[in-house]
Structure 1
Amino acid sequence: MSNAPAVPTGRIAQLRQAYRNTKQTDPKLGWMLLGVWILTAAIVATLSLLLVGTGWLGIVLTVLVTLTTSSLATITVFGRRAERSMYQQAEGQLGAGGAALSMLRGRWDVKQAVGFTKQQDVVHRVIGRPGVILIGEGNPGRTRSLLASEAKKHQRIVGEGTPVTTLVVGRGEGEVPLPKLVKRVRKLPKAIKPAQQTDILYKVKALDAMRPAAPMPRGPMPTSMKGARKMMRG
């Protein structure tokens, strides 16, 4: 049975949890958000009063627009700082790369730990318009060897016409830092059509069927990132 803390399910509970987590690495968060709200409110209220006047209707519209705009600005700033804090807390933790990849939205198929070693080095797989992307995390030497092996297996399955890209999560030379991983994957050039992507998914299922179950870690870090993902998606 996992000892990981439960992820809050309610929207308000998720926001509170995200705020507490973010303050651990961003102690001035509260003052920052308050400053954003006040500054935005002052600017919006001034512009609104100049445009619609100071009559009762103008005041009502100004209050509504000011509250809405200030709240949206504050939530936007909070979301960005929460995401940055989340990556800071997760970086270096086992399974962080897979948890980050699960934040990919749209037509991305993410499968964690398609390859692994006894030392818990893992390779995750993403299939999208760039083709097949294999992402390794763990000991750099073992991970690169594991990536090379997985790349050969996937290339045989999907054919030479489909690119198989390999990335390593880390701060070393030629590696991708965790906070930039999702952005790096999204920026890979498109190489296949949506119909081809569907065909590739069917092909790799045969490869996955021959694999043993991956012993993915279930510690507090992946659970924390999962909760933050839910909070930001709504």
Structure 2
Amino acid sequence: MNGEGERLRGSRVAVVALAALVAALGLGVAARYAAGSGLIALAGPVAEPASRLGAWVIALGAPWLAVAWLLGALARRGDLGAATGAFALVGGTGAWYAFTVWSEGRASLGYAVPVSIGWAAAAAVAGAIFGAAGALWRSGRSDGARALGAAMVAAPMIGEAVLLETTWDGRAARVVLTAELLVGLVLPFVLVRRPPRALLLCLALTAVLSVVAAVGEDVVRDALRHVGWHGP
């Protein structure tokens, strides 16, 4: 039995590690697409067509946190979830700026190096936190733990949508932010359906953490702008 359990744990680690690698590459490619669409430098014009919805979705930060959270839920263990979440987000950040240098040449190094280091530091912390939160939701032994784990993935979506509503312009951007807000509001009801007290706790935690997420993202974005980042 012990040997079988070790093999199962080893298989899970391998699956989670592979998922984290795929997620890192996918995030890097998707983020590079956003950069190519001009979203790093400025927000879109008011008359921006709805056909650019995809580019604005990629430019959001909360979906990156959701990827780390999903990897944590797949891992089921807090330590493994934290490690894979951090790896995926740091790897995605590194891939993004590596693709930037590859496509734009050495002239972009002055921008890419300091900004990638700054975002990688933020990604490491955020990835670890949200990866552990996903594992907490999946394997938490109490209703409170599962409620907290679910609130952790819903809150950044709500907080980010409210925060960016004041800075992003354009029809497509507003559609994306509205959709993100709705997803954040619905997630607690999907992830914590019963017992009712757990859902109520999750809703309360989501409300509080949404404020924390909005403030935190604003601080991080402002800090990164000081090292040269000029994203939307």
Greater helix share, structure number: 2
Greater strand share, structure number: 1
TM over 0.5: no
Q: TM-score, with normalisation over the residues of structure 2?
A: 0.24
Q: TM-score, with normalisation over the residues of structure 1?
A: 0.24
Q: Which has the larger radius of gyration?
A: 1
